[in-house]
Amino acid sequence: MLSAGVVGGTGYTGVELLRLLIQHPQIELKCVTSRSEAGRKISELFPNLREHTDLEFTAPDEKSLAGCDVVFFATPNGTAMTMVPALLEQGVRVIDLAADFRLRDEAEWEQWYGIKHACAEVLDEAVYGLPELNRDAINQARIVANPGCYPTAVSLGFLPLIENDLIDDQHLVADAKSGVSGAGRGANVATLLCEASESFKPYAVDGHRHLPEIRQTLSGVAGHGVGLTFVPHLLPMIRGIEASLYAVLKTGSTDLHALYSARYQAEPFVDVLPVGSMPETRTVRGANMCRISVFQPQGGDTVVIASVIDNLVKGAAGQAVQNLNIMFGLPETTGLNNVAQLP
């Protein structure tokens, strides 16, 4: 059994992570920290976990966390970087679900997140935790930067085309939509029911923090900088991301469905749908799965990829558990075989 600690388990990502870890057959959940909820039973805050754990939230304590095999950070951006160096020194392996280690360039990170990075020396060591791209490096990693939700859906959608140099990668378009849980559990007028329900809007059109993360991933695959227009939208639903991706093909002679099917055939958490099928967010609700369809409308030179994930699972907590399994040599699907919830 592996012992696990969770720092900051009070948000939507945190409770999803706790749900998955509690059900994981090879994990003993040792401690869950929260300064604001210390001393309170986890099941009091999250009643869905009643009868599954008797743990209480505790104040962050380096000694307790240092006794874990792995520590997850489900904290706001800027928190993990203040604690990670000490944990690495103690031999603890770390999975950060926030953005502290996703960007390799310190100056770019500080530009987008507006604070000074506290341990820039760790950025070079951190492995970007997209298993479908970096599985071997994740297995050896001491620290994994869990990808963002939008970057997961967008990157998995574009990867096969960029890997095979089939598209003009200077004019990529990602038109993505997320449920309200992607904004977090904190009180915010914009995500109140009366504000978000029965409405649909873009946001951060001038620049979203996930933009440099997506560009970094796709540029690494292409071997040069890519051009990307990324526009996120808020959907009036709780869970789910749908990313409609657009690019211009260099050649029209490739069987795109066969290409995607071959690329993801061995991937347990990517499902390429049959020709003509439309992916739906409801088919991945609660599951660590990305479902993808690829289209070439009217047989022209534009390719359209539709990619759906649950932003809290494959876009966050589920992918973190997938990374845990890879890091510790467990079967990659351990604890993640649950079926999506319908309706």
Torsion of CA 38, 89, 12, 1, to 10 degrees: -90
Cα distances (angstroms) measured from residue 116 to each of 25, 77, 120: 39, 12, 9
**119 among known catalytic residues:** no
- DSSP secondary structure letter of residue 270: E
Q: What count of other Cβ atoms lies within 10 Å of the Cβ of residue 296? A: 16
Query: Which candidate, 52, 279, 245, 82, places its Cα nearest to that of 167?
Result: 245
Residue among 31, 68, 119, 149 flagged as catalytic: 149
Q: Is 272 helix (H, G, I), strand (E, B) or coil?
A: strand
Q: What count of other Cβ atoms lies within 10 Å of the Cβ of residue 48? A: 10
Query: Which candidate, 41, 46, 36, places its Cα nearest to that of 8?
Result: 36
- DSSP secondary structure letter of residue 138: H
Q: Which amino acid is at 321?
A: V
CB 290 within 8 A of CB 270: yes
Which is it for the CA torsion 323, 324, 328, 331, positive or negative?
negative
List, by residue number, the catalytic residues. Answer: 149
